[in-house]
Amino acid sequence: MSAAPLRVLVVEDDPVAADAHALYAGRVEGFAVVGIAHSRAAAVRVLDRTRVDLILLDLYLPDGHGLQLLRALRAAGHAADVIAVTSARDLAVVREGVSLGVVQYVLKPFAFATLRDRLVRYAEFRAAAGEASGQDEVDRALAALRAPHPAALPKGLSAPTLEAVTRTLRAAPEGVTAAEAGTALGISRITARRYLEHLVAEGRAVRAPRYGQIGRPELQYRWREGPVRGH
């Protein structure tokens, strides 16, 4: 009989990002999303009525910092592990999070492969059971949580440019073409299109033809406003 899936709570104030994180987590075998909360207060309500094994926690919430929530949960006896899913890059915050039980950090924006890697490593860590035979076995168990190599982007794509394209796309609710994104960022239309297509492939953006121009219609890209089936 297969083991029960690990129960995940997504805590994220941005509804679009929350849906995306829940969608990503639900795609990883062995995990089931049992709730989404957009604030500290909503997270506490979910945790008071639902068993949760893992929290995907944004650190910037409308009613307080995510680590304040985590401190309160530990004081109340909640033992769920935490993966911080955040844009916070302050290493002092990282250290404090580790002391409170944050087992991994995933920096926004990220691809599905990045979160999948962290979740798979976490599941391997959880699956380790019994008494260790020695230091080597303890080291192997802890190593399951470490990610020495970030999930690779497709060849030719860089993380800083992907982040810049993502910001440009999110700032244009009406959508942008590859040419418009390229102009805004000072890169070629072809380069911009590669990044935009990568975001589409990862379920973070959608595309549709833009009609009304002379000649062939252009593709217009928009940040995904909700879950995309099949991703």
**In the chain, where do the E strands start and end?**
6-11, 31-37, 54-57, 60-61, 64-65, 81-86, 102-107, 176-177, 205-210, 218-223
Answer for the pair 54, 7: CB distance below 8 angstroms, yes or no: yes
Is the pTM for the entire model greater than 0.85? no
Mean pLDDT of 175-202: 92
Report which residue type is found at 174.
E
- How confident is the prediction for the chain on average, in pLDDT? 84
% of the chain residues with pLDDT over 90: 38
The 3 state secondary structure assigned to 127-168 is HCCCCCCCHHHHHHHHHCCCCCCCCCCCCCCCHHHHHHHHHH
Mean pLDDT of 8-29: 91
Grade residue 124 by pLDDT with cuts at 50, 70 and 90. confident
Task: Examine the pLDDT at 82 and tell me if it is beyond 90.
Answer: yes
Phi, psi of 8 (to 5 degrees): -115, 135
